[in-house]
Amino acid sequence: MQVFTEWLRDHHADVAEDTEQFVARVLQAASRDLDWEVRAQGLELALVFLAQTLGQPSARCPYAVAAPQATPPGPLAQVLRALSRVRLFEFAFRALFDCDRLVAQKSCDLLLFLRAQATPSGGLQEAEGSPDVVPVEAALQRWQAGEQGEPLGDLEPEAVLAVLRSLDLEGLRGALAESSDHVEKSPQSLLQDMLATVGVRGENQADCY
């Protein structure tokens, strides 16, 4: 997974040919992997792709003293659609409820970074009326309850922003920072590590979601 991240960061020829397809395939594979480190590395790759799509040489910390510059409305909408096409939102939202704390922390940081880029001046114009966020919120509730749920599919930029604004990401980040490693060492997490060690990858395998 680290190799894939380096390929993306260095614009490797195999990646540059179709970057979105490459990222989508890697994130799909990472989401199905039982090893929490693979899922965490998948979020690292997602952050690199996000920074590149925003036109930044590297991802800036969203909690830096200097506020990030707002992205113009057009480019921001294009960025959000690109992230939706590679299923980055589904990967990150699912990871918020991962049974390993470090994975959830990385997901929270990624979404906070994205929200910081999108909200300083309301860069993306609000759509007329309220965006339909019901399917996304329903999926989040199912994932939080440990259910698989249906894929989110393509999301409209307005719906993405509405969901990002509605989530208490700061509160979740604080709760994760204060928690101990008991989440990482829970029976579900240990089961994942054991199954990954013996190479169980069957279609009917149980996982922690």
pLDDT, averaged per 10 consecutive residues of the chain (209 residues), comes to 86 83 94 92 95 70 41 68 91 90 93 83 49 79 74 78 87 83 47 46 44
> Which residue do the tokens 């979105």 mark?
20
**Domain ranges within the chain, ordered by starting residue:** 2-123+136-198
Distance CA 173, CA 25 (A): 28
pLDDT of residue 129: 54
Distance CA 140, CA 79 (A): 22
Instruction: Tell me if the pTM is above 0.75.
Output: no
Contact 15, 22 (CB under 8 A): yes
The distance between the two most distant Cα atoms of the chain, rounded to a whole number of Å, is 53
**Per residue in 165-189, is it b (16+ CB within 10 Å) or e — as a string?**
eebebeebbeebeeeeeebbeeeeb
Contact 46, 205 (CB under 8 A): no
Contact 193, 36 (CB under 8 A): yes
* Cβ neighbours of 161 (radius 10 Å): 25
DSSP string, 67-90: PPPPPPHHHHHHHHHHHHHTTHHH
